[in-house]
Chain A
Amino acid sequence: MKNMRKTGFLLTAIILVLSVMLAACGKNNDKNASSNPPSSVEPSVSPSSEPSSEPSESASTDMSALDEALAGKYKGTKVTMFGPFTDADQVKFEVAIKDFEDKTGIDIQYEGSKEFEATVSIRVDGGNAPDIADFPQPGLLNTFVKSGKVIDVSTFMDMDRLKGNYNKSWLDMATMKGPSGDIMAGIWARSSVKSLVWYPKKAFEEAGYTVPKTWDELMALTEQIAKDGDPAWAIGIESGAATGWPATDWVEDIMLRTTSPENYDKWVNGELPFTDDIVKNAVKKMSEIWMNKDYVYGGTKSIVTTSFGDSSTVLFDNPPKAWLHRQASFITSFFPQNLKSGEDYDWFYFPSIDPQYGNPVLVAGDIYAMFNDRPEVRAVMEFFTTGESLKTWIQSGGVIAPMNDAKPEWYTSDVERRMAELAKNATTLRFDGSDLMPGSVGAGTFWKGMTDYVSGTVDLDGAMKEIQAGWKQ
């Protein structure tokens, strides 16, 4: 007995010693990450001077950080990156940057978290900010810009090259108000197109339906399908704590089609209240479909309780239980595995309502922002402005590149190539409004108000007042 106890105690001691040793190993890792002191190379441009005024000079005299990196100058350095995508997306991302890592010797350590929004705030406040963070919601990035924590990328990037490689509205969206004037808060990396209506192509053609070009044709098709015996639309807005967001996308898409882009911008900035008739009118347009129990699979009541991802699967039952599903490009990851894009399913453009507003397109995307200014981080940021940084991801499917130098032939399926073209040729390109609004509205009352409206607990006026109240928080 006595001996056994002794061994037990010894064991505890050994484990303790081992743990301390392990910890020492772990610590070493961390030291490597921060071993490079900030900026040994000259950043040269001060934030106040206009970098774009003398483009030829800045482009030719000093090499950009990216060129230096490709020359192997930052071999062995590490750049930490933190973002919201995990799993399959993470694998695709890592494959896409592998070539760059091999060439430059920079190790980009990506860390994905499902709790990105909450965690990034804790990390930045705790002084443990990643070198680069991937924000799917510019509204969230804006709060960090306001507190002056984000580095202005225009201080070192060749603005003319950026202007050549991005649609102007992308660059405008990256410009945010910091404590000392406007800064370029980050660069746009991957995007998705939202104004898409998915349909089961094969069955759709067999049933003799045609793709609608106008809103009236869309409503006629909806009515036709209802007469034939099916509800046309598959709609679900349940998404855990984020329940309601697909409804906000609908409203935004319809807003772009029923009012001017200027009004849309005002609305997003909080100058046009939700209680205004313009916004109400958009929600009413949406209700023509949503509130008609013959048009929605499972009836209006089931919209709130159906998960946004699973709602689309009924399109592929045999025969389809519903025929149309409006959702961004990522929804294909929820489709049954054995379907072929372009054959079994396809999309058409969510048609315009009022011809005077042209063909607007609603997009979303991730903006990469920089928290630590080191030369190798600059190099990585510059790399992310090239289409090359997304090449294999585009080829594997799932993203649309916002950069102009991403080649159309990289898209392996016609379905995705057409999305890229749609975004490029849009008369108006606008970002998902709820992602731009402050969190209390865009990720708060807007979601909740729409959910309450759809579930029938409040009427339209009540819902709009409820959403508007979020601006005061």
Chain B
Amino acid sequence: MRRRPRRTRSKTTVNIVLAVICLIWLIPTVGLFISSFRPATEILKSGWWTVFPHKENVATHTITLPKDTDLRQPIEVDGTMYTDDQLRSGAKAPDGSVFVWENRRARTISVQQSGWTMNTNFTTENYEGVLTGKQYQITDTDGSVKTKKGNGLSRAFLNTVTVSIPATIIPILIATFAAYAFAWLRFPLRKTMFVIVIMLLVVPLQVAMIPVLKDYTALGLNGTFLGVWIAHAGFGLPLATYFMYSYISQLPKDLFESAFMDGASNFTIFTRLILPLAVPSIASISIFQFLWVWNDYLVSLVFIGNQPNVQVLSMKIADMVGTRGNDWHLLTAAAFISMLMPLAVFFGLQKYFVRGLLGGSVKG
């Protein structure tokens, strides 16, 4: 009876701490989200936080100084002398208001009082630009101007799905087979091979790019989905194998022995026992692999390139900003659209995720 209130209190503390940490983690995302609804000119002028009610100096009236005021001498405003620098950054007037240049050229000064404002200039243009494609003005050979519509994200989105799903399934399927073999089958060089797999974990994929590309050129796999699936599968296998191994090797031995006694083959054991039992860890490694493939830029850049029929989302988004980055404001909206799928996958498989995080840690 006595303990109860204490426990609740400590729970509240934990919750508050967690909420604060969550908030800090979320701030950049929230900022990006708000920015994605603001026009580019506004983003340049003020921060995203100005959309919330905040205290700011609001102009009440303007004072016009004589036209011939020399800006490099102290300037008299309302009987007090100020320097140009002070008036640029805003100078405190005796009555508490602030003097700041409104138009230096016209020599007008705005008198500001602090008050509450919020910035409510929102637009969906960024999302429209990203989703439906931008408009381009093209002049044709005969001199007529026509508007050409660029491609939206839909094609790239589908391409990314086409790349990501097999590139998640293939390595994990192979890794699960391999993990079972490493964990429960006895064959020569088993340990050596397993050590090699573990060693491959530390090899950065960048060193393999040019050699693999050379082989792909010989095989004609460049710019094809199959090529990128194999590449992703190869780069993802060591981690997936290790991850699945640490889970499958923990399953009780008796289970397989009794199945074996009943006449089950290795394949039956694998499909009937291992796969169902390993679902949680398969799900969690799938999340990892899927997120990695979905967000990947480098592997796609090298192995499938930028042709519109195979272009993936991350590359399409990079292209959208234009040759010289003039359409940077589209990035905010594009980022959120590209996040939709990973978020859906994450929340869909969320319950496995925490379990998966512990997957490798229980047994080293």
A in complex with B: yes
Question: Footprint of B on A, CB under 8 Å?
Answer: 5, 9, 12, 15-16, 19-20, 22-24, 26-27, 29-31, 34, 84-89, 91-92, 95, 99, 109, 111-115, 119, 122-123, 125-128, 207, 227-230, 239-240, 309-310, 313, 319, 330, 333-334, 336, 391-392, 395-397, 412
Contact of B105 with A230 in the complex, beta carbons under 8 Å: yes
Given contacts A85-B323, A113-B301, contact A396 B139 (CB under 8 A): yes
Contact of B220 with A95 in the complex, beta carbons under 8 Å: no
Given contacts A15-B169, A87-B322, contact A122 B213 (CB under 8 A): yes
Contact of A9 with B169 in the complex, beta carbons under 8 Å: no
B107 CB–A CB distance under 8 Å:
yes
Given contacts A91-B150, A126-B213, A309-B324, contact A392 B138 (CB under 8 A): yes
Taking the nearest CB of chain B, how far is it from the CB of A220, in angstroms?
17
Contact of A115 with B301 in the complex, beta carbons under 8 Å: yes
Bound-state CA distance A84–B306 (Å) is 11
Query: Can you offer 27 A-B residue contacts whose CB atoms are under 8 A?
Result: A15-B169, A22-B162, A22-B226, A27-B226, A30-B223, A84-B323, A85-B323, A87-B150, A87-B323, A88-B136, A88-B323, A109-B307, A113-B301, A113-B315, A113-B319, A114-B318, A114-B319, A114-B321, A125-B210, A126-B213, A126-B214, A126-B302, A128-B217, A229-B106, A309-B324, A310-B44, A412-B143
Taking the nearest CB of chain A, how far is it from the CB of B36, in angstroms?
18
Bound-state CA distance A221–B301 (Å) is 49
- CB closest chain-A residue, reference B308: A111
- Which B residues lie within 8 Å of A85 (CB)? 323
- Which B residues lie within 8 Å of A230 (CB)? 104-105
Taking the nearest CB of chain B, how far is it from the CB of A371, in angstroms?
13
Contact of A99 with B141 in the complex, beta carbons under 8 Å: yes
Bound-state CA distance A239–B328 (Å) is 12
B51 CB–A CB distance under 8 Å:
no
- Which B residues lie within 8 Å of A391 (CB)? 141
CB-CB nearest 6 A-B residue pairs: A23-B226, A126-B213, A229-B104, A26-B224, A395-B139, A86-B319
- Which A residues lie within 8 Å of B224 (CB)? 23, 26-27, 29-30
Bound-state CA distance A207–B324 (Å) is 32
Contact of B141 with A87 in the complex, beta carbons under 8 Å: no
- CB closest chain-A residue, reference B211: A126
- Which A residues lie within 8 Å of B216 (CB)? 126, 128
Please indicate which of the listed interface residues A16, A23, A34, A89 has the most CB atoms of chain B within 10 Å of its own CB.
A23
Contact of A88 with B107 in the complex, beta carbons under 8 Å: no
Bound-state CA distance A42–B181 (Å) is 59
- Which B residues lie within 8 Å of A91 (CB)? 136, 138, 148, 150
Bound-state CA distance A234–B169 (Å) is 53
Chain B contact surface mostly: mixed
Q: A122-B209, A319-B103, A396-B136 are in contact. List 11 more A-B contacts (CB 8 A).
A: A9-B275, A15-B169, A23-B224, A26-B224, A87-B150, A87-B320, A122-B302, A126-B214, A207-B105, A313-B44, A395-B139
Contact of B323 with A89 in the complex, beta carbons under 8 Å: yes
B259 CB–A CB distance under 8 Å:
no
Contact of B138 with A112 in the complex, beta carbons under 8 Å: no
- Which A residues lie within 8 Å of B218 (CB)? 127
Please indicate which of the listed interface residues B136, B209, B320 has the most CB atoms of chain A within 10 Å of its own CB.
B136
B10 CB–A CB distance under 8 Å:
no
Bound-state CA distance A15–B271 (Å) is 17
Contact of A412 with B139 in the complex, beta carbons under 8 Å: yes
- Which B residues lie within 8 Å of A395 (CB)? 139-141, 143
Q: Count how many chain B residues have C-beta atoms less than 8 Å from C-beta atoms of the other chain.
A: 59
- CB closest chain-B residue, reference A20: B226
Contact count A vs B, C-beta below 8 Å: 163
Q: Which B residues from 139 to 153 make CB contacts under 8 A with A?
A: 139-141, 143, 148, 150
Contact of A128 with B307 in the complex, beta carbons under 8 Å: no
Contacting residue for A16 out of B169, B275, B276, B307, CB 8 A: B169
Taking the nearest CB of chain A, how far is it from the CB of B156, in angstroms?
13
- Which A residues lie within 8 Å of B220 (CB)? 27, 30-31, 34
- Which A residues lie within 8 Å of B217 (CB)? 126-128
Bound-state CA distance A127–B169 (Å) is 30
- CB closest chain-B residue, reference A88: B136
Contact of B173 with A88 in the complex, beta carbons under 8 Å: no
- Which A residues lie within 8 Å of B106 (CB)? 229, 319
Contact of B276 with A229 in the complex, beta carbons under 8 Å: no
- Which B residues lie within 8 Å of A227 (CB)? 71
Given contacts A29-B224, A30-B220, contact A111 B306 (CB under 8 A): yes
Contact of B169 with A88 in the complex, beta carbons under 8 Å: no
Bound-state CA distance A12–B173 (Å) is 9
B134 CB–A CB distance under 8 Å:
yes
Taking the nearest CB of chain B, how far is it from the CB of A207, in angstroms?
8
Contact of B222 with A30 in the complex, beta carbons under 8 Å: yes
Given contacts A111-B307, A310-B44, contact A87 B229 (CB under 8 A): no
Contact of A113 with B323 in the complex, beta carbons under 8 Å: no
B283 CB–A CB distance under 8 Å:
no
Bound-state CA distance A305–B218 (Å) is 46
Taking the nearest CB of chain B, how far is it from the CB of A99, in angstroms?
7
- Which B residues lie within 8 Å of A126 (CB)? 209-210, 213-214, 216-217, 302
Q: Which B residues from 110 to 140 make CB contacts under 8 A with A?
A: 134, 136-140
Bound-state CA distance A19–B232 (Å) is 14
Contact of B136 with A92 in the complex, beta carbons under 8 Å: yes
- Which B residues lie within 8 Å of A30 (CB)? 220-224
Contacting residue for B229 out of A19, A99, A412, CB 8 A: A19
B327 CB–A CB distance under 8 Å:
yes
- Which A residues lie within 8 Å of B71 (CB)? 227, 229
Bound-state CA distance A89–B165 (Å) is 33
Taking the nearest CB of chain A, how far is it from the CB of B231, in angstroms?
12
Bound-state CA distance A15–B140 (Å) is 45
- Which B residues lie within 8 Å of A19 (CB)? 166, 170, 225-226, 229
Contact of A128 with B222 in the complex, beta carbons under 8 Å: yes
Contacting residue for A9 out of B214, B271, B319, CB 8 A: B271
- Per-position 1/0 for B75-116, Cβ under 8 A of A: 000000000000000000000000000011111000000000
Contact of A16 with B301 in the complex, beta carbons under 8 Å: no
Bound-state CA distance A91–B151 (Å) is 10
Q: Which B residues from 30 to 46 make CB contacts under 8 A with A?
A: 41, 44
Contact of A23 with B229 in the complex, beta carbons under 8 Å: yes
Bound-state CA distance A127–B212 (Å) is 11
Contact of A113 with B305 in the complex, beta carbons under 8 Å: yes
- Which A residues lie within 8 Å of B166 (CB)? 15-16, 19
B325 CB–A CB distance under 8 Å:
yes
- CB closest chain-A residue, reference B315: A113
B326 CB–A CB distance under 8 Å:
yes
- CB closest chain-A residue, reference B209: A122
Contact of A392 with B319 in the complex, beta carbons under 8 Å: no
Taking the nearest CB of chain B, how far is it from the CB of A5, in angstroms?
6
Contacting residue for B226 out of A5, A26, A111, A114, CB 8 A: A26
